[in-house]
């Protein structure tokens, strides 16, 4: 077994423990192979919204918690920044338990002196902020739209109007999603500027990134539901994006090639070739 790779800081967010979508096994592997002086949990670590609807907590989700607590016992400083799905943790701001500090937001200074605001990010998501129920209607709104589409077109045909195209509408939705990501990045960069720091490290939109946004560094940790990504700070203060799905895929490929090579190397299985 290899020694875990050590970083100055690790940033993880949007793990969504307590949901079927959570890639707990992938995260356990990741935590086994990575260590840091400090770990930031940047919100939506567990999913209180989903757990309220029905309890789902398999052993692997416990294992993730145990792995983090063990790291804290061994000296890793762990800072928990709550998100919107685990907002219940916002009642424990300033608390300290099991070696974990709970803070609403934090300023992290890297080894090279760059200062980052660390925050989940939902505070800038107007839909979530102003009307919590809006975030919950997604599924049935879509179903209703499909149903409505049929009736709407039938009615339109009566007075010779044009069809309202669902696929066109969905394409527009994708465009709006792209616009939303852009607006989110801008809002967070603006908050970093207001906080007089060099950049921001956030989560929330499940879209990992390291980029510059009008002179402000924008870093997003991604998630452990679809993409399995983390952000790591090296000993020299460089930020790197770790794509754990891609690394696992590359390893499987390498293993397969090794296996084939080993097979080919066995003299008994290689047919003698005429020179």
Task: Dig out the tokens for 134 from the structure.
Answer: 């809006």
Residue 64 to residues 29, 166, 178, Cα–Cα distance (Å):
10, 41, 32
Per DSSP, the three-state class of 161 is: coil
Complex with Mn ion: residue 76 or 220, whichever CB lies closer: 220
In terms of CB distance, is 83 or 199 closer to Mn ion? 83
199: contact with Mn ion by CB under 5 A: no
Stretch that binds Mn ion, among 30-38, 53-61, 107-115, 118-126 (CB under 5 A): 118-126
Joined tokens for residue 175: 């465009």
Nearest to 112 by CA among 226, 8, 5: 8
Q: Which stretch binds Mn ion (CB under 5 A): 91-99, 122-130, 183-191, 194-202?
A: 122-130
Question: By the 8 A CB rule, do 133 and 216 touch?
Answer: no
Buried b (16+ CB within 10 A) or exposed e, 214-251: eebbbbbbbbbbebbbbbbbeeeeebeebebeeeeeee
Running DSSP on this structure, what letter comes out for residue 165?
A: P
Q: Within positions 44 to 63, which residues make up the interface with Mn ion, using CB under 5 A?
A: 44
Binding mask 153-172 for Mn ion (x = CB under 5 A): --------------------
Record the tokens describing residue 98, joined without a space.
Answer: 């099991």
Q: Which is nearer to Mn ion, 7 or 122 (CB)?
A: 122
Among 34, 108, 204, 206, binds Mn ion (CB under 5 A): 204
User: CB–CB of 61/45 below 8 Å?
Assistant: no
User: In this chain, which stretch among 19-27, 36-44, 65-73, 99-107 interacts with Mn ion, using CB under 5 A?
Assistant: 36-44
Select from 9, 19, 23, 84 the one that contacts Mn ion (CB under 5 A).
84
- Residue 268 Cβ vs Mn ion, minimum distance, rounded to whole Å: 57
Minimal distance in Å, beta carbon 85 to Mn ion?
Answer: 5
For Mn ion, the binding residue among 18, 82, 83, 222 (CB under 5 A) is: 83
Contact residues for Mn ion, defined by CB under 5 A: 44, 83-84, 122, 204
């Amino acid at each position: 077994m290899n020694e875990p790779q050590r970083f100055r800081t690790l940033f993880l967010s949007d793990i969504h423990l307590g949901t079927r979508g959570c890639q707990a096994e992938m995260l356990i592997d990741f935590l086994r192979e990575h260590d840091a002086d400090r770990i930031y949990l940047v919100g939506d670590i567990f999913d209180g919204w989903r757990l309220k609807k029905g309890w789902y907590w398999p052993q692997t989700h416990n294992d993730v918690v145990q792995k983090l607590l063990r790291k804290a016992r061994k000296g890793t400083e762990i800072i928990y920044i709550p998100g919107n799905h685990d907002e219940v943790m916002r009642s424990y701001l300033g608390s300290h338990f099991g070696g974990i500090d709970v803070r609403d937001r934090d300023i992290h200074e890297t080894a090279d002196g760059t200062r980052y605001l660390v925050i989940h990010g939902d505070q800038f998501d107007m839909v979530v902020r102003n009307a919590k129920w809006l975030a919950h209607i997604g599924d049935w709104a879509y179903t209703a739209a499909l149903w409505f589409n049929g009736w709407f077109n039938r009615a339109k045909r009566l007075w010779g109007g044009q069809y309202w195209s669902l696929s066109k509408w969905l394409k527009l939705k994708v465009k709006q999603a792209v616009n939303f990501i852009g607006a989110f990045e801008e809002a967070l960069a603006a908050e970093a500027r207001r906080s007089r720091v060099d950049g921001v490290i956030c989560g929330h939109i499940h879209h990992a990134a390291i980029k510059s946004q009008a002179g402000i560094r924008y870093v997003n940790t991604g998630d452990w539901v679809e993409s399995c990504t983390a952000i790591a700070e090296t000993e020299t203060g460089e930020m790197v994006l770790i794509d754990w799905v891609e690394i696992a895929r590359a390893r499987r490929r390498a293993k397969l090639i090794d296996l084939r090579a080993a097979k080919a190397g066995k003299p008994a299985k290689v047919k003698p070739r005429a020179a």
